[in-house]
Structure 1
Amino acid sequence: MARSIWSGYINFGLVSVPVGLYSATEEHEVDFHQFQRGTSDRIRYKRVNERTGREVDYEKIVKGHDLGDGKYVIVEPEELDNIAPGKSRSLEISTFVDLDEIDPIYYQKSYYLGPKDADNKGSYALLRDALKKTNRAGIAKFVMRGKEYLATIRAQDKVLVLETMYFADEIRNPAEELDDLPARSSAGKQLSMAADLIEAMSGEWKPSAYTDTYTERVKDLVETKRKGKEVVFTEEEPEATTPTDLVSALRASVEAARSRRTSGATKKTTKKTSAKKSTAEKTTAKKTTAKKSTAKKSTAKKTSSRKKAA
């Protein structure tokens, strides 16, 4: 069983639920080291005193806040620990909100919350089921690894999921970050066609249908170079659709999407029909076999009776 990376209590009202925090996700990527080009010499980083040029042990390093003009406030690790909130290892829920009200931009990273005490699994299940029934998420704060986090606690199937979140002042204002954002679209026909395209391309959310193709390509690249073969790149970058081509591009896209949907629906219908035929054929075959078996038994009984009479 995986080890929890944090443990404490979910507190709401006067109820405390002992829980452990576990990683819910893992990234898959190809690891690379750094080398000097043309050699097999690894590049490594060292913690070096910029004045003396000497390497410094990690234990001798402290943090400093830059005040400007070459001035710093030096802070010891113990001082940061002493002012850290949540020393009681508490996930204190301050309020419950409707899940649909939370903008996904606030979500940061997902974790599983598991029951930490076998005697308190009932309280864990109670909170989980109540959240599921009300479609609510608990908003809480907690401290992990010397940092305070804002978090939501929600129910997903049999488990409670904790999502660390950004604070409001950590979300950048797009109006301040981006220039020349377009005004509301005024092209009624184009807007209608774009909406039609979205409808034609709509479907169910199936996470397993999406895979990391880039990582697969990186693996293929590494394997190709390992074998000493030449690497060939054929994919071209797309070009922006010009305003004059927009309507025709939308129309062609809608037709292609509808055609794919129709084709997919036909394939599903064909599969269902084939499955029904197969089932019907099996049922008919079983009935025929049963009838033959019954007829054979009946004939055998009649023959036996005749022999006895003789």
Structure 2
Amino acid sequence: MHTMWKGTISFGLVNIPVKMHAATENKDVKLRQLHKECQSPVKYEKMCPVCDREIKNEEIVKAYEYAKNKFVVLDEDDLKALQKEQEDKAVEIVDFVKLEEIDPIYFERSYFLSPNEGGSKAYGLLRSALEDTGKIGIAKMIIRSKEQLAVIRVYQNTLVVETIHYPDEVRSVQDVPNVPEKVETVKKELDTAKMLIDQLTTEFDPEKYKDEYRTALLELIEEKKNQDQTTTAKDKPAPDAATNLMDALQASLDRAKKEKPKPKQPAKRKTKTTTAKKKKTAT
């Protein structure tokens, strides 16, 4: 299992060197987008709308948009220094609470923790203490350059980190439209609904639930593949030297036309006829 983070978790004077591993994986079937005409994968380029050209990663800087089209540019060295400062701190458990006190809306992602070298004894100590007290730890840690609020708990004899949202990341239910304050219900209908819930109540068995859409999609893909209903993307034709030269010449010509200053118009010479007309008009 791939190690995605190494660090130290501490509570009180106990320090536990640990490794962190992703506990879940996305099983979604990823579909590519092809150009219908030639069946080639569609490219997404990073374009600058002002310079009207594709830009490379080294030409990109990070910035915060504090108002419409107004930015504070953040230097990469400053960001790295800030990140290093936070990563060097040990992950400290600051509180212990009961799991049922946290609403599931706060939970985000799960990670397994395993002891690093010399950490088995302290790892076992924390695991036993959490199991015996029925508590979970609340901690702060840096994951992928972001400070995360997290809980540390026991799952099937393994310590697990569950990242959770900060309170200001959970939207207010007051903003949800059209939620009725109170609805009068008929007692008979309510009793029937409760009876239906009782009949469908069972113990939670995660193996019981399957992603039927994903299964059907994979079966469809396999069926089409077996029936040779496949396609191969065409290679991009390489322009020959003559084409490259012609393109370069044309581009140079276009640029020269844009950059060439317009010739000044010569001043009109005054003729005897024009002078005579002006004198006649004046009189």
**TM category, shorter:** 0.7 to 0.9
Residue of structure 2 in register with 1:183 after alignment: 182
Residue of structure 2 in register with 1:163 after alignment: 162
CA distance in 2, matches of 1:67, 1:229: 53
Shift of 1:133: 1.2
* Cα deviation code 1:259-283 (max 9, x no counterpart): xxxxxxxxxxxxxxxxxxxxxxxxx
Residue of structure 2 in register with 1:208 after alignment: 207
CA distance in 2, matches of 1:14, 1:210: 43
Residue of structure 2 in register with 1:109 after alignment: 109
Residue of structure 1 in register with 2:96 after alignment: 96
Residues 108, 163 of structure 1: 8 Å contact kept: yes
* Cα deviation code 1:230-269 (max 9, x no counterpart): 9xxxxxxxxxxxxxxxxxxxxxxxxxxxxxxxxxxxxxxx
Taking structure 1 as the reference length, what is the TM-score of the superposition?
Answer: 0.69
* 1:289-308 to 2 correspondences below 5 Å: none
For 2:113, give the aligned amino acid: L
Shift of 1:184: 4.3
* Cα deviation code 1:88-147 (max 9, x no counterpart): 242111100011111111000000010012x32111011011111111110000112211
Residues 141, 150 of structure 1: 8 Å contact kept: yes
Residue of structure 1 in register with 2:122 after alignment: 123
For 1:5, give the aligned amino acid: M
* 1:55-66 to 2 correspondences below 5 Å: 55-66=54-65
* 1:131-150 to 2 correspondences below 5 Å: 131-150=130-149
CA distance in 2, matches of 1:120, 1:41: 51
Aligned residue for 1:30, secondary structure, equals coil
Residue of structure 2 in register with 1:3 after alignment: 2
Residues 7, 89 of structure 1: 8 Å contact kept: no
Aligned residues: CA RMSD:
2.0
Residue of structure 1 in register with 2:53 after alignment: 54
Check 1:229–1:5 CA distance in 2 against 1; reply closer, same or farther (3 A cut). Answer: closer
Gaps of at least 5 residues in structure 2 are 230-283
Between Structure 1 and Structure 2, the one with more helix by share is 1
For 1:80, give the aligned amino acid: L
CA distance in 1, matches of 2:106, 2:179: 24
Gaps of at least 5 residues in structure 1 are 231-310
For 1:93, give the aligned amino acid: I
CA distance in 2, matches of 1:181, 1:75: 45
Once superposed, which parts of structure 1, at least 4 consecutive aligned residues long, lie more than 6 Å away?
none
CA distance in 1, matches of 2:7, 2:179: 47
Shift of 1:160: 0.1
CA distance in 2, matches of 1:37, 1:183: 52
Aligned residues: 228
Check 1:94–1:184 CA distance in 2 against 1; reply closer, same or farther (3 A cut). Answer: farther
Shift of 1:157: 2.3
Give yes or no for the alignment of 1:77 onto 2:41. Answer: no
Check 1:179–1:100 CA distance in 2 against 1; reply closer, same or farther (3 A cut). Answer: same
Q: Which has the higher contact order (CA 8 A, sep 6+)?
A: 2
Aligned residue for 2:163, secondary structure, equals strand
Residues 185, 191 of structure 1: 8 Å contact kept: no
Aligned residue for 1:86, secondary structure, equals helix
Shift of 1:188: 1.8
Residue range with higher mean Cα deviation, 54-63 or 101-110: 54-63
Identity %: 34
For 1:47, give the aligned amino acid: K
Aligned residue for 1:25, secondary structure, equals coil
Aligned residue for 2:217, secondary structure, equals helix
For 2:55, give the aligned amino acid: V
Residues 151, 163 of structure 2: 8 Å contact kept: yes
